[in-house]
Amino acid sequence: MPIHLPDIDTLSLVEQVSQMLVVRTCGMLYDHQIQYPQWELTSKQLQTLISDYGVGGVILLGGSAAEIALKTQQMQSSAKVPLLMAADIEEGVGQRFSGATWFPPPMALQDVGIDYAEAMGRVTAEEALAIGLNWVLAPIVDVNNNPSNPVINVRAFGVTVGEVMGATRGFIAGAKQYPVLTTAKHFPGHGDTAVDSHLQTPTLTHDRARFENLEFLPFSNAIAAGVDTIMSAHVFAPNLDPQNIATLSPHILTEILRDQLGFEGIITTDALIMSGVANLNSPEAIAVQAVKAGADILLMPVDPIATIEAVCAAVESGEISRDRIKQSVQRIWKAKQKVCGIPTDLTQLGKPENLEIAKEIATKSISVHSAIPHLQSGDTSKPKANYLNLIIVDDPLTCGEFLNSRSPAVLFPKNSGYHRIITDGQMIEHLQLKQFTDIFIQMFSRGNPFRGNTNLHTKTQTLANALLASERLEAMVVYGSPYALDPFLQILPANIPWGFAYSQQPEAQTAVLQKLGFG
């Protein structure tokens, strides 16, 4: 339905600058449920920024899809100007909000066909709109050509330009069937990094020709496909700009992205709370520099009110022109005319056909090499064996979304007489396993932001080699990143069964375990 937006010239400078901010809050309804108090605004703080300042949008994380539907309605009802409602839903709405469809990581499409990319974009947009989200912070168009990348990894569509470009076109075409914004990220490219920009600033030493022949191509492709917004990367590319990281670089955001690549949509920063940018200067100085560089939206500033005041002061001092602010607000107005004013509709969630698409991708993208011999009917070769299901995770405190007492990875081996131990990179070296004759390793590991390095993969390889030497490694499964699997394929003998799934969800666990002989 059409919405009314005020004439930009009738807005005060504070109101115009505020429209350039997207702030973060928790998706759950009550303040005592806030998960990250250093980043997520309380109801009172949020109300002040929406009603008094008029921020342009909100990014949400956590809670159920139904809670988000209610919360977006509440926020929109208190806003004088309709809000952009954003979420990082690269793997579908269910990745962040329970009850909706959760797809496997985008890289799984390379094993099932990029035709699924269109369905992934369509379902994600449909379900986002159903709960009041009108800005999809996807797709990632980085080319993950560095196996050591801790932050992009399986979030990318592939490891070659062609793979990424094909899936990107499909995803955007699917999403464009609904009035939502799409986002290509992270410009000028975050695929060939070995550092997590949530924790520190990565450096890309490529020359301009390399960027033009690889990293820039998926962004040009996304622009041609009609992407609405492009997100900057907190990376330092000295051969593009020897002074500034991309988020703060006029040369990268304005001269290259805006002028040379011809992007006319919204340029948004990545989250400004990330250490890759936040450690470089004060929040106020970073905000001013990002606007001068060409950013239209300041995403998740450390201190929203101080950010607004700093940008306004820069305008009043002449450091930033009023026309520059107006240009950004005009782009935001155009986006809001496209996507705001759509009522929520929870009946669009939980559609069997949408859930089935996610299940198809999860199950078709698995790989299994042979079955576990003793699980085959009639095998009595080890009557006195003592079996262990050894589950290895990145972090035991954050695996509840895919691992609990009812998960197939736990239940299936239990039903087959396996004992169970769950461990991580901190404890794996201290395990006492001598009493077990046959050990089945299941490792849940994928590239995830903020994790840092616990040397989990190296320590697991050491354990696997020791178990192979004592002939006690029965089988191995990796759920998550194919880069985590690759080293084990180099050491596993042909007679050792193994499995792999991009997805860590129950459907993928079941598919792999059944092919191994469980169930």
Residue 254: exposed, middle, or buried by beta-carbon count in 10 A (0-12, 13-18, 19+)?
middle
Decide: 382 and 438 in contact? Cβ < 8 Å. yes
Q: How far apart are CA 452 and CA 448, in angstroms?
A: 9
pLDDT for 450 equals 44
State the first-to-last Cα distance of the chain, in angstroms, to the nearest integer: 50
Q: In what order do the strands lie in the sheet with 21-26?
A: 135-136, 84-87, 57-61, 21-26, 298-299
Residues that are catalytic: 198, 270
Per run of 10 residues, the mean pLDDT along the chain (length 519 residues) is 89 98 94 88 94 97 96 96 98 96 96 93 98 98 85 90 96 98 96 72 91 96 98 95 97 98 98 92 96 98 97 98 98 98 95 97 96 80 84 90 94 96 92 95 78 73 94 96 92 96 96 95
pLDDT for 447 equals 66
Question: What ranges make up the beta strands (E) of 417-471?
Answer: 419-423, 438-445
Calculate the alpha carbon distances from 266 to 24, 95, 214, 258 in Å: 19, 25, 23, 10
Name the strand (E) or helix (H) holding 24.
strand 21-26
161-175 and 115-130 helices cross at what angle (nearest 10)?
Answer: 40
Q: How far apart are CA 430 and CA 420, in angstroms?
A: 16
The residues, ordered by sequence, that sit 6+ positions from 413 with a Cβ below 8 Å of its Cβ are 387, 389, 420, 440, 513, 518
pLDDT for 448 equals 53
3-class DSSP string for 281-339: CCHHHHHHHHHHHCCCEEECCCCHHHHHHHHHHHHHCCCCCHHHHHHHHHHHHHHHHHH
Residue 443 has what DSSP assignment?
E
DSSP assignment of 342-360: PPP-GGGSS-HHHHHHHHH
Q: How far apart are CA 362 and CA 102, in angstroms?
A: 10
Q: How far apart are CA 251 and CA 259, in angstroms?
A: 10
Q: How far apart are CA 199 and CA 193, in angstroms?
A: 13
Q: How far apart are CA 56 and CA 448, in angstroms?
A: 28
DSSP assignment of 210-257: HIIIIIHHHHHHHHHHT--EEEE---B-TTT-SSS-GGG-HIIIIIII
Over its C-alpha atoms, the chain yields an Rg (Å, rounded) of 24
Name the strand (E) or helix (H) holding 409.
helix 408-415
